[in-house]
Amino acid sequence: MIRSLKLMLLCLLLVVSTGNIHAQLKRNSYSVNTAHFVPQFRYNGVPPDTTSKAKIHSSRKAATMSALCPGLGQIYNRKYWKLPIIYVAMGGCVFGFAYNQNEFAYYRDVLRVRYDDDPLTVDPLPQYSDASIVALKNDYQRYRDLCVIGFSAIYLLQVIDAAVDAHLYTFDVGPDLSLQWSPRVTPGFRQNYYGIGLRLTAK
């Protein structure tokens, strides 16, 4: 009985010691292998350049710049010749608004003078009837409002123009593109149909 217990204890010690030795060897081999691991990368001859980025012509940026300041998107697109057109058109709308607003206010005040029941005030336009003054006031008011609409339309158009120009900034419009037209006859069942044929060629 005692002998068998000793044999069992001896076998158990051998199993435990064998497992410890195997685990130690496994740890040593892992540390040796990982100690000498050096990552290697291949660049196909030329290392990649991570510092430089391609410059992208953004239509969103051009539209934002024109929305913040009219004409700034056209400068971004290098379409400098559009700046005088934009500013002359917008300046004309501003001048028209100021002129028509002054005239509208003048005839409005004339009507107020006529109906203020104050004998000390003098009618500056006694030769005009009430209907004529009301018509003039309404006309200048309408012209003033049209100037506001025109200014808003020009402002919106220059934003759209900047976005479209930026979107087509890299579009090829060089001499390699050609557009040709020629007469064309299409045979029909009873008669021929005549028209014009267009052909776009990219060399």
> Can you give the residue ranges of every domain in the chain?
59-168
Residue 179: predicted pLDDT: 61
Number of C-alpha atoms within 13 angstroms, CB side, residue 97?
Answer: 14
Ranges in the chain, pLDDT < 70: 1-55, 171-181, 185, 188-190, 193-194, 196-203
Beta bridge partners of 155: none
Residues present in the chain in total: 203
Residue 156: predicted pLDDT: 97
pTM score, two decimals? 0.58
Sequence-separated (6 or more) residues with CB below 8 Å from residue 56: none
Q: Are 110 and 123 in contact (CB under 8 A)?
A: yes
Residue 118: predicted pLDDT: 79
Q: Are 77 and 62 in contact (CB under 8 A)?
A: yes
Residue 202: predicted pLDDT: 55
Residue 75: predicted pLDDT: 95
What does the pLDDT look like over 64-79, one tens digit per residue?
Answer: 999 999 999 999 999 9
Helices 130-167 and 59-68 pack at an angle, to 10 degrees, of 150
DSSP code per residue over 49-107? --S-------HHHHHHHHHHSTTHHHHHTT-TTHHHHHHHHHHHHHHHHHHHHHHHHHH
